[in-house]
Amino acid sequence: MVSSKTALVDYSLLTITQFALKDGRYQVDGITDLPPGTRLIIALKTNPETTFNLQKSIEVQNGSFTAFFRIPSGNPTGNQEFLIEVVCNPQKQSSGVSSRIDRYGKNLVGEEMVILGKVHILKYTELFDLI
């Protein structure tokens, strides 16, 4: 008998490939092995952290993601170090994605995996210099 249940696969790749200032906006690009439609939260903060903190929710498409941030007036546009954080929380996913990564993220593994209570999340953080 063939099971109709989706075969679960381990997911571990979540990384930023580029951070740039383009056309008056910050742009964060990255790659992942997470399924299409996976919701990611991208946070952009100045380092050391100050009151500058932008967040955006985006979805994975074809193994990659891109987030654009408008620059609030009076905030840094250059010669600044930024802390960028990308988070995949399995409890914030659609039922289709949740069925693939598990609602507690049991199929999220690797160096970027962090356990919060019973939930496994993928969390990638990197510092970037924007000159």
* CATH number for position 53: 2.60.40.2150
Sheet with strand 80-88: strands edge to edge: 53-59, 39-46, 80-88, 119-130, 113-116
Q: Comparing 46 with 11, which gets the higher pLDDT?
A: 11
Q: How many independent structural domains does the chain possess?
A: 1
Assess if residue 89 is contained within a domain. Answer: yes
Q: For 54-108, write each residue's pLDDT tens digit.
A: 899 999 999 999 999 987 776 655 567 889 999 999 999 999 999 999 999 999 9
Q: How does pLDDT run across 8-22, given as a tens digit for each residue?
A: 689 999 999 999 988
pLDDT exceeds 70 at position 2 = no
95: containing domain: 14-130
For residue 95, what pLDDT is reported?
95
Is 101 a domain residue? yes
Task: Answer yes or no: is 74 within a domain.
Answer: yes
7 found inside a domain: no
Task: Indicate whether 99 belongs to any domain.
Answer: yes
The model carries a pTM of: 0.87
